């Protein structure tokens, strides 16, 4: 049975019209003035057994301009056939099986295009060794759709020119991810464990903390403290320079959020120009560390050149590309990769997430982690946080996520009691997140006293910490004061507002 029929066409009607249009019709529209209706810049494709018959045009019907672009990507730019196929699918919605590219009438070979043929070409890069994922303990797909793709403008021939930057970004991403997991690399090897990515010889800078600093700067701007926000941003850019000294797959996990936070800061404080500064700092650091032509330098330079209208869709398609490529190398039974999917499906396309499989894989990792680490260890709290985050935003089972969040609040509280001085790290993030959400749940259920006590304890704990901890204390204090005013507890609200002002003043 077709997957769409099994789940019911009605539930997925907004995207179903895509499969009713053949690729021959799509590529014919490059030559006429008809414009196919679209719902936003993205489409999804369903995996199915007859995709060749439903999506594949005959070789005689391919748009000549697209055929020429295939040749340029493969021969002129030296891309692997696998990457060429992915680019033309994601950006131009052209899909054909491998044998079409290798043996068909329009294949590279039949038209005399050889990767080793003399003539103008770019050196083709390949990893020395490709990492193979372990066999999955839960052998089911987390995502019920194929790659997410841009919706190209098909009403004029210039459409093929619009996404040249996205082509470079996808190619650079592919080279970067494969290079850091190259099993024959001379610069140390990246692998994966249950919780994330590990290097054979280095302890990389925590990109989660860098991302949180951007959020902290945004919070300070919302509190009308642009000078304090500027100090936080300077600390952030110093950390970025240090983190960029080595390749780290965690960078791509957080870069999207960093870009969006900085873009939001720029919209409220135009003189800072933080987003372009980020690209300049990263490009310089990557060039100094790995050479001017390395994939990371090309990636951030090109990302900085993407037009404003295409910027967020480009980040989204790059995020999807990152998760899927990492999964192909290390598998998806990895807490970091599942957490990435949590962020993705929190905002988009939740109907395509296989929630039972998703939570089952999380449950497997949780039990394996807790069987080898103490429940109050940083490793255990990390998986507790990732799992509770997914259950709360994606699980749709309130009682299930409620218990996990309260356990996370308890374990992170016990962990932080031993941390002197208190620093902003992932367990601190887990504490702040669980405190806010548990208090929110209690507020919703009418347990006002519990909600207030949880928030006050969180504020009192965080205000004793470093700069980022105090910034989060300010945010929670502001939320609590608003709740108290809604409950008509005006005297308590005034006290929280006074504490808000005091903590804000203590942030240097």
**Taking a C-beta distance cutoff of 8 angstroms, is the pair 144, 354 a contact?**
yes
Tokens of 382: 């990390």
What is the arithmetic mean of pLDDT over 315-332?
Answer: 92
* pLDDT level of residue 322 (50, 70, 90 thresholds): very high
Q: Where in the chain are the domains?
A: 3-115+137-162, 183-191+200-331, 397-508
Tens of pLDDT along 205-247?
578 899 999 999 999 999 999 999 999 999 999 999 988 887 7
Q: What is the mean pLDDT of the chain?
A: 81
Within 130-288, strands assigned E span: 149-150, 190-192, 197-199
Alpha carbon 274 to its chain centroid, in Å, reads: 20
Q: What is the pTM of this model?
A: 0.84
- Whether 48 shows a pLDDT value over 90: the answer reads no
At 397, is the secondary structure helix, strand, or coil?
Answer: coil
Confidence class for position 498, pLDDT limits 50, 70, 90: very high
pLDDT at 34 over 50: no
Is residue 244 packed enough to be buried (19+ CB in 10 Å), middle (13-18) or exposed (0-12)? buried
Please report, rounded to a whole number, the percentage of residues in the chain having pLDDT higher than 90.
52
| Residue of 141 and 34 predicted with greater confidence | 141
Bridge partner list, 191: 198
C-alpha angle 37-43-45 in degrees, rounded to nearest 5 = 120
């Amino acid at each position: 049975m077709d997957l769409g029929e099994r789940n019911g066409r009605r539930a997925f009607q907004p995207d179903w019209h895509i499969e009713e249009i053949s690729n021959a019709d799509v590529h014919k529209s490059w030559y006429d003035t008809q414009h196919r209706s679209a719902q936003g810049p993205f489409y999804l494709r369903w995996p199915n057994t007859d995709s060749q018959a439903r999506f594949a045009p005959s070789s005689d019907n391919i748009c000549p301009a697209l055929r020429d672009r295939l040749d340029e990507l493969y021969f002129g730019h030296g891309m692997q056939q696998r990457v060429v196929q992915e680019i033309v699918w994601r950006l131009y919605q052209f899909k054909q099986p491998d044998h079409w590219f290798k043996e068909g009438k329009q294949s590279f070979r039949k038209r005399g295009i050889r990767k080793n043929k003399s003539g103008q070409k770019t050196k083709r890069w390949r990893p020395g060794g490709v990492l193979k994922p372990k066999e999955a303990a839960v052998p089911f797909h987390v995502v019920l759709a194929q790659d997410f793709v841009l919706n190209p403008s098909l009403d004029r021939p210039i459409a093929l020119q619009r996404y040249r930057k996205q082509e470079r970004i996808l190619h650079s991403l592919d080279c970067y991810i494969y290079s850091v997991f190259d099993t024959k690399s001379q610069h140390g090897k990246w692998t994966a464990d249950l919780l994330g990515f590990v290097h054979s010889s280095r302890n990389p800078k925590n990109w989660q903390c860098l991302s949180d600093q951007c959020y902290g700067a945004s919070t300070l701007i919302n509190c009308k403290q642009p000078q304090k926000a500027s100090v936080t941003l300077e600390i952030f850019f110093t950390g970025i320079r240090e983190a960029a000294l080595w390749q780290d797959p965690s960078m791509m996990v957080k870069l999207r959020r960093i870009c969006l936070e900085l873009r939001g800061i720029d919209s409220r404080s135009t003189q800072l120009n933080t987003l372009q500064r980020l690209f300049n700092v990263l490009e310089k650091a990557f060039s100094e560390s790995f050479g001017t032509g390395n994939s990371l330098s090309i990636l951030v330079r090109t990302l900085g050149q993407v037009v404003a209208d295409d910027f967020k869709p480009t980040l989204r398609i790059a995020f999807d590309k990152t998760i899927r490529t990492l999964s192909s190398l290390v598998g998806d039974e990895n807490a970091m990769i599942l957490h990435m999917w949590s962020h993705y499906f929190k905002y988009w396309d939740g109907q395509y997430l296989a929630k039972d499989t998703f939570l089952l894989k999380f449950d497997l990792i949780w039990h394996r982690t807790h069987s080898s680490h103490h429940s109050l260890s940083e490793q255990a709290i990390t998986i507790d946080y990732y799992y509770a985050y997914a259950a709360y935003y994606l699980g749709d089972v309130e009682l299930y996520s409620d218990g996990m969040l309260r356990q996370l609040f308890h374990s992170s509280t016990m962990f932080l009691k031993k941390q002197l001085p208190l620093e902003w790290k992932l367990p601190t993030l887990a504490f702040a997140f669980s405190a806010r959400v548990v208090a929110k749940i209690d507020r919703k259920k009418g347990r006002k006293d519990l909600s207030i006590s949880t928030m006050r304890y969180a504020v009192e704990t965080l205000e004793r910490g470093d700069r980022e901890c105090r910034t989060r204390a300010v945010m929670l204090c502001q939320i609590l004061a608003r709740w108290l005013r809604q409950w008509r507890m005006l005297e308590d609200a005034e006290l929280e507002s006074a504490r808000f002002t005091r903590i804000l003043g203590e942030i240097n």
